[in-house]
Structure 1
Amino acid sequence: MNIEIRKAVTADIDRLMQIFSIAREFMKSSGNPNQWINGYPQEEFICKEIADGHCFVCINKENGNIVATFCLIKGPDPTYSYIEDGEWPDNEPYYVIHRLASDGSVKGIASMCIEWSSLISPCLRVDTHHDNKVMQHLLEKNGFVRCGIIYVANGTPRIAYQRNTNNK
Structure 2
Amino acid sequence: MEIRKAEIGQLSEILKIYSNARAFMKDHGNPDQWGETHPQEAVICGDIKSGNSYVCMENGKILAVFFYKAGEDPTYGHIYQGNWLNLDPYGVIHRIASSGKKKGSASFCLAWAFEECGNLRIDTHRDNHVMQNLLKRNGFTYCGIIYLENGSERLAYQKSEQSGQATSSPQPITL
What is the TM-score with the length of structure 1 in the denominator?
Answer: 0.95
Cα distance in 1 for residues equivalent to 2:162 and 2:141: 14
Structure 2, unaligned stretches of length 5 or more?
Answer: 165-175
Cα distance in 2 for residues equivalent to 1:58 and 1:153: 28
Counterpart residue type for residue 8 of structure 1: A
Pair 1:80 & 2:76 matched: yes
SS at match of 2:120: strand
SS at match of 2:108: helix
* Map of 1:48 onto structure 2: 46
Give the aligned CA root-mean-square deviation in angstroms: 1.0
* Map of 1:146 onto structure 2: 142
Checking the alignment, whether the CA contact within 8 Å between 2:69 and 2:93 is kept in structure 1 is yes
What is the TM-score with the length of structure 2 in the denominator?
Answer: 0.91
Match of 2:132 among 107, 130, 136: 136
* Map of 1:114 onto structure 2: 110
Counterpart residue type for residue 115 of structure 2: L
Shift of 1:4: 1.6
* Map of 1:95 onto structure 2: 91
Q: Residue by residue, what CA displacement relative to the aligned partner does 1:129-162 show, whole Å, maximum 9, x if unpaired? A: 0000000000011110000000012110000000
* Map of 1:17 onto structure 2: 15
Cα distance in 2 for residues equivalent to 1:69 and 1:153: 23
Shift of 1:103: 1.1
SS at match of 2:3: strand
Percent identity, aligned pairs only?
Answer: 48
Cα distance in 2 for residues equivalent to 1:111 and 1:84: 27
Name the stretch that deviates more: 155-164 or 35-44: 35-44
* Map of 1:125 onto structure 2: 121
| Number of aligned positions between the proteins | 164
Q: Residue by residue, what CA displacement relative to the aligned partner does 1:67-120 show, whole Å, maximum 9, x if unpaired? A: 210010122111101110101121110000110001100101121011111121
Cα distance in 2 for residues equivalent to 1:155 and 1:85: 16
Deviating 4+ runs (over 3 angstroms): none
